[in-house]
């Protein structure tokens, strides 16, 4: 007979189960705080659950982000009101309405951020009290409207990107010569480490980077990410979300000395680290709480880039004919070589204009990978209007809104009968009208105030890695099979924006070796 300890161990090693349990409790909490279930005739149409009161909660627990696709296919609606217990929630699926919702200044993430301060970040009571009040709103605005935009503009962004590309160059230049080969048993883990090694030195400063000093932090970071929902609910986290609890603890322990020594002011640290910390120090937050809050910062830097790059790699290199076409595009348009030095030009405009198939593969990967559920709260009564139908919907103050980018990325009316498939040339050779039509439904970076500020940084990293592999390396399956297939997709989690591979990509490995004539090349990048 299983003991209590056996049950705890099983729960701790099964994050999807913990996430499901946590989602139940979170849904109950949300619906306790939301408005009554009475629906105004001006509101989105009511979509009743099969099981009264709790049906939609069960659906979200069981299917997570995929539940929105199920409901949209079932109802055919653009936007609905979902009754839950004594409350309700709006679900938006139409691309035009999602765009309007993301831009609406009365739909805010502040309540969601405030609700995470105490359970997820474990900061002091003083910081919790500050964040819950007007001063907390001001701090959020300073970070969102000043620190982050400033960090990803002009010289600050260019310096950040150049630092990352130097790390990518260093890693590829040191890869084995053609007389040897590098066997990668798990591509997912390899991509995680590759991105971390390129991202954290320019983020924190090469000499002070906690992740460079202690590489084990990379795994602790992903453990923290995996159990995020269980930690957010905060019920026996050291037991039911043990790996995530330990991951958070280790990250905070590594970051606390960094901020205590004010290492963010070092010349090679990014403006993002420096400006965020400065705003929190100016607001009076203690150093220990800054470290706890900033333990979440690597999420923004890596949790979307890693799965996107993984699937980009997978979709391309398991298709030999696509590899051949892309290699020619890159060699003809992006590459220059001077003896042992090879330079790749990766600016967005050049990629779009001169490598249409590569750009299409990138956009198609984003379409299939990003399933984000953008969650907001209606801060005051407002309306949103569809640009395609002209219909306007009333949204009631205090109600939670979920906008499914994943639904937008899979609607047959935009993507046809191949909407669930990777089509390498989907975005090639489109007319201006066709481009405008697909642009409405292609929303991987969000929009409005929350348009992803780091999208150019992520693009630079991913394109540097992919173009280098295409030109300078031969990438095959570990066993040399030509019918090489990628792993299955994992659960499209409500808390993640990009879908990870099932079982951490176990069983999907690769063999990488230098192509003939590229044995001793050093790589340079221009963005």
| Cα gap 352→367, rounded to integer Å | 17
| Cα gap 376→359, rounded to integer Å | 31
Other Cβ atoms less than 10 A from the Cβ of 477: the count is 16
Q: List the Cα angle 68/73/77 in 5-degree steps.
A: 85
Closest by CA to 521, choosing from 169, 145, 252, 251, is 169
Do the domains 34-123+372-408 and 135-208+261-371+412-526 sit in the same CATH topology, yes or no? no
Q: How confident is the model at residue 19 (pLDDT cuts 50, 70, 90)?
A: low
135-208+261-371+412-526 sits in which CATH class?
A: mainly alpha
How confident is the model over 165-183, as pLDDT tens digits?
Answer: 999 999 998 876 656 788 9
- Residue 514 β-bridge partners: 473
What's 145's DSSP letter?
I
- Residue 475 β-bridge partners: 512
| pLDDT of res. 25 | 54
Contact 401, 378 (CB under 8 A): yes
The residue-averaged pLDDT of 307-335 equals: 98
Sequence ranges of the binding site: 452
Q: Where are the domains of the chain?
A: 34-123+372-408, 135-208+261-371+412-526
Q: How confident is the model at residue 22 (pLDDT cuts 50, 70, 90)?
A: low
The size of the chain, in residues, is 527
The most confident of the ranges 233-237, 405-409, 514-518 is 405-409
Residue recorded with tokens 């001793």? 520
pLDDT surpassing 90 at residue 11: no
Burial 243-266 (b: 16+ CB within 10 A, else e): bbbbbbebbbebbbebbeeebbeb
| pLDDT of res. 179 | 60
The residue-averaged pLDDT of 449-455 equals: 88
Contact 336, 393 (CB under 8 A): no
Contacts of residue 179, Cβ cutoff 8 Å, sequence gap at least 6: 519
Please list the alpha-helical segments (H only) found in 261-304.
271-282, 287-294, 297-302
| pLDDT of res. 13 | 53
| Cα gap 485→469, rounded to integer Å | 18
| pLDDT of res. 7 | 41
pLDDT surpassing 50 at residue 306: yes
pTM above 0.85, yes or no: yes
The residue-averaged pLDDT of 207-230 equals: 95
pLDDT surpassing 80 at residue 26: no
Contact 259, 293 (CB under 8 A): no
Contact 284, 172 (CB under 8 A): no
CA torsion sign, 47 to 51 to 57 to 63? negative
The residue-averaged pLDDT of 208-235 equals: 94
| Cα gap 304→372, rounded to integer Å | 10
Q: How confident is the model at residue 42 (pLDDT cuts 50, 70, 90)?
A: very high
| pLDDT of res. 481 | 84
| pLDDT of res. 38 | 63
Sequence ranges of the binding site for heme: 452
Contact 178, 513 (CB under 8 A): yes
Q: What are the φ and ψ backbone dihedral angles of 423, each rounded to 5 degrees?
A: -120, 105
Residue recorded with tokens 């999807």? 16
Structure tokens at 333: 């348009």
| pLDDT of res. 71 | 98
How confident is the model over 466-505, as pLDDT tens digits?
Answer: 999 999 999 999 988 888 999 999 999 998 999 999 999 9
pLDDT surpassing 80 at residue 37: no
| Cα gap 316→320, rounded to integer Å | 8
pLDDT surpassing 60 at residue 20: no
Q: Assign domain 34-123+372-408 to its CATH architecture.
A: 2-Layer Sandwich (3.30)
Contact 453, 297 (CB under 8 A): no
């Amino acid at each position: 007979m299983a003991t209590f300890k056996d049950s705890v161990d099983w729960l701790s090693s099964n994050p999807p189960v913990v996430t499901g349990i946590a989602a139940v409790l979170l849904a109950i909490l949300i619906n306790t705080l939301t408005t009554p279930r009475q629906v105004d005739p001006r509101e989105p149409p009511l979509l009743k659950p099969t099981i009264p009161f709790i049906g939609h909660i069960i659906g979200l627990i069981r299917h997570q982000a995929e539940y929105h696709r199920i409901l949209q296919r079932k109802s055919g609606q653009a936007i609905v009101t979902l009754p839950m217990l004594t409350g309700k929630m709006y679900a938006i699926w139409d691309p035009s309405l999602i765009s309007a919702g993301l831009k609406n200044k009365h739909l805010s993430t502040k309540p969601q951020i405030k609700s995470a301060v105490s359970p997820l970040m474990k900061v002091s009571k003083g910081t919790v009290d500050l964040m819950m009040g007007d001063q907390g709103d001001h701090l959020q605005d300073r970070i969102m409207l000043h620190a982050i935009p400033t960090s990803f503009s002009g010289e600050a962004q260019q310096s950040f990107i150049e630092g990352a590309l130097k790390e990518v160059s260093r890693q590829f230049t040191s890869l084995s010569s053609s007389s040897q080969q590098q066997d990668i048993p798990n591509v997912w883990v390899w991509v995680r480490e590759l991105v971390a090694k390129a991202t954290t030195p320019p983020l924190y400063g090469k000499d002070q980077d906690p992740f460079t000093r202690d590489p084990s932090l990379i795994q602790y970071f992903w453990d923290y990410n995996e159990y995020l929902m269980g930690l957010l609910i905060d019920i026996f986290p050291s037991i039911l979300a043990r790996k995530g609890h330990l991951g958070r603890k280790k990250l905070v322990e590594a970051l606390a000395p960094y901020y205590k020594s004010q290492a963010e002011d070092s010349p090679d640290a990014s403006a993002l680290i420096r400006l965020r910390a400065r705003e929190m120090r100016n607001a009076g937050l203690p150093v220990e709480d800054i470290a706890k809050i900033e333990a979440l910062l690597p999420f923004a830097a890596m949790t979307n880039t890693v799965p996107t790059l993984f699937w980009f790699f997978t979709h391309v290199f398991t298709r030999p004919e696509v590899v051949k076409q892309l290699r020619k595009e890159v060699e003809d348009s992006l590459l220059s070589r001077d003896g042992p030095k090879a330079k790749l030009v990766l600016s967005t405009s050049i990629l779009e204009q001169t490598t249409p198939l590569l750009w299409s593969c990138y956009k198609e990967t984003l379409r299939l990978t990003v399933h984000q559920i953008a969650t907001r709260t209606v801060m005051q009564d407002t309306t949103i209007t569809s640009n395609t139908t002209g219909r306007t919907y009333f949204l009631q103050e205090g109600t939670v809104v979920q906008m499914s980018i994943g639904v937008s990325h899979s609607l047959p009316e935009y993507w046809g009968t191949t909407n669930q498939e990777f089509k390498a040339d989907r975005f090639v050779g489109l007319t201006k009208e066709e481009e405008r039509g697909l642009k409405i439904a292609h929303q991987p970076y969000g929009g409005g105030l929350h348009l992803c500020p780091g999208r150019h940084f992520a693009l630079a990293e991913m394109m540097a890695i992919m173009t280098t592999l295409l030109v300078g390396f031969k990438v095959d399956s570990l066993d040399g099979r030509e019918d090489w297939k990628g792993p299955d997709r994992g659960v499209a989690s409500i808390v993640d924006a990009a879908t990870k591979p099932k079982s951490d990509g176990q069983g999907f490995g690769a063999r990488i070796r230098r192509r003939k004539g590229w044995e001793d090349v050093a790589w340079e990048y221009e963005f």
